[in-house]
């Protein structure tokens, strides 16, 4: 395919691009809403003769009246030129080079305008045979950069030169209509980067927007393309999806579009039409609790979420191993290894988290053993609180002895010293009596065999 044909192909894919400039008096963004560090970067780039724009989610959120989490900048300066302007600059990335301007813990990300990989003769871009972009160090104009962005509401540029907004794909209109619309041919864009399907869901849940019909149509069929994405990248995406304060709604949308099943294939067999399985119940509980903690400004631990999500698939595996003769403890240990080894192939949960997941699971076996000093020792464990919180969650789902055990531990933690000792003595008395009966049995057997 020659350069002219490539250009025609690019025009077909991005045919919905058309620039509309909104002057300062036509929008609500004020420099007072932009971080001082982002303004420093914008002004220095502009002062050095480069184009400098606030771009993407920052512009989108400001137009929505929200405070952006990040302020990203796009420019026609190359990463090397940016680095010469800022002593506090670090260049990162292999797939696409980015400049990080460091202001203590605050990082302003600056990207050079991206161009079309089809139109570049330099060997700086690479695609897989399925159409997925593998390397993308292709620089271009602001028009090309806008065409390469994923959604219309992310293709708006705030120009520090005259404070106007350059809207390349009708993003302002879609923002007003509360629509998530992909730029270009959805089939082609999803094949270029299947993670765009996850981003469509994430923005829809976060912003409470609808996904535009053509943008939504191919997702269910193309969802399996996510299996070709590196598991480390999918782990990061899973955290953005499920631990950003909209996890429960995001999960339900992902499941509707066959996306959750790709990231968590071990959980998918537990899905039912009426959402009644124990796995589905614990998903609702843990994601709702996570959303609530984030809303309250509390810390969330990915390990707890994954421990809850994978518990019932793990227990199903453990029961199968027990049917082959393994003890409960050995079966759980082996099943833990099997489930986690399989899950990290899809989402690469870091080892520090898989270790915590195992501790939370093991505590489910240890928490019923409360006699003597065991209860006090268990409470001193670093992961006791996580183990107890999960026990409470299980009790809400399973009821019966699990619910009673969770209630016992809840009372024990808040009780005074004398009441705690009485509770332990009561458990200890029962265990001692049953234990003495168990100890007499072997002696009787030995005596009988000696005769």
CB 278 within 8 A of CB 318: no
In 104-234, the DSSP E strands lie at: 106-112, 125-127, 133-136, 156-159, 165-167, 179-180, 210-211
Residue 318 · residue 335 · CB < 8 Å: yes
Nearest to 386 by CA among 304, 441, 442: 304
What tokens does 151 get?
Answer: 């959604």
Closest CA to 170 of 15, 8, 66, 30: 15
For tokens 């050095």, the residue is 48
Count of CB atoms situated within 10 Å of the CB of 338: 17
Closest to 78 (Cα-Cα) out of 30, 110, 55: 110
CA–CA distance, 62 with 67 (Å, rounded to integer): 6
Integer Cα distance of 180 and 174 in angstroms: 7
Give the end-to-end CA distance of the chain in Å, rounded to a whole number: 94
Q: Decide if 54 contacts 40 (C-beta within 8 A).
A: no
Just list the catalytic residues.
70, 72, 150
**Contact in structure between 331 and 361 (CB atoms under 8 Å):** no
DSSP symbols for 296-314: TT----HHHHHHHHHHHHH
Token pair listed for 401 = 């002895």
Residues belonging to the chain: 451
- Cα–Cα distance, 201 to 157 (Å, whole number): 23
Give residues with Cβ within 8 angstroms of 326, minimum separation 6: 334
């Amino acid at each position: 395919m020659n350069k002219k044909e490539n250009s025609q192909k690019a025009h077909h894919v991005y045919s919905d691009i058309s620039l509309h400039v909104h002057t300062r008096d036509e929008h609500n963004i004020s420099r007072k809403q932009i971080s001082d560090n982002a303004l420093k970067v914008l002004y220095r780039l502009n002062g050095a003769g480069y184009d400098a724009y606030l771009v993407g989610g920052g512009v989108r959120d400001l137009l929505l009246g929200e405070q952006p989490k990040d302020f990203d900048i796009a420019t026609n300066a190359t990463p090397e030129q940016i680095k010469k302007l800022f002593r506090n600059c670090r260049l990162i990335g292999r797939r696409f080079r980015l400049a990080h301007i460091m202001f203590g813990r605050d990082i302003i990300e600056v990207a050079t305008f991206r161009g079309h990989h089809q139109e570049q003769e330099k060997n700086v871009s690479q695609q897989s045979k399925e159409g997925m972009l593998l390397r993308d160090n292709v620089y271009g104009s602001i028009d090309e950069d806008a065409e390469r962005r994923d959604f219309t509401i992310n293709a708006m540029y705030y120009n520090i030169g005259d404070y106007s907004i350059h809207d390349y794909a009708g993003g302002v209109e879609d923002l007003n209509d509360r629509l998530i619309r992909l730029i270009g041919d959805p089939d082609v864009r999803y094949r270029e980067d299947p993670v765009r399907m996850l981003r469509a869901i994430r923005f829809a849940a976060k912003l409470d927007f609808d996904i535009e019909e053509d943008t939504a149509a191919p997702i269910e069929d193309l969802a399996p393309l996510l299996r070709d994405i590196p598991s480390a990248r999918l782990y990061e995406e899973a955290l953005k999806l499920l631990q950003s304060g909209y996890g429960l709604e995001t999960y339900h949308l992902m499941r509707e579009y066959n996306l959750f099943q790709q990231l968590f294939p071990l959980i998918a067999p537990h899905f039912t039409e009426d959402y009644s399985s124990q796995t589905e119940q614990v998903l609702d509980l843990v994601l709702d609790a996570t959303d609530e903690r984030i809303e309250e400004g509390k810390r969330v631990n990915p390990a707890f979420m994954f421990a809850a999500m994978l518990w019932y698939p793990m227990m199903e595996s453990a029961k199968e191993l027990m049917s082959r003769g393994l003890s409960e403890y050995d079966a759980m240990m082996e099943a833990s290894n099997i489930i986690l080894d399989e899950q990290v192939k899809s989402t690469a949960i870091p080892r520090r988290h898989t270790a915590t997941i195992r501790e939370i699971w093991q505590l489910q076996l240890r928490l019923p053993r409360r006699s003597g000093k065991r209860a006090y020792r268990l409470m001193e464990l670093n992961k006791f609180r996580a183990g107890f919180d999960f026990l409470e969650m299980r009790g809400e789902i399973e009821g019966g002895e699990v619910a009673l055990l969770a209630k016992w531990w809840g009372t024990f933690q808040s009780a005074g010293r004398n009441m705690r000792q009485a509770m332990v003595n009561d458990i200890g008395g029962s265990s001692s009596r049953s234990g003495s009966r168990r100890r007499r049995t072997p002696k009787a057997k030995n005596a009988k065999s000696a005769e």
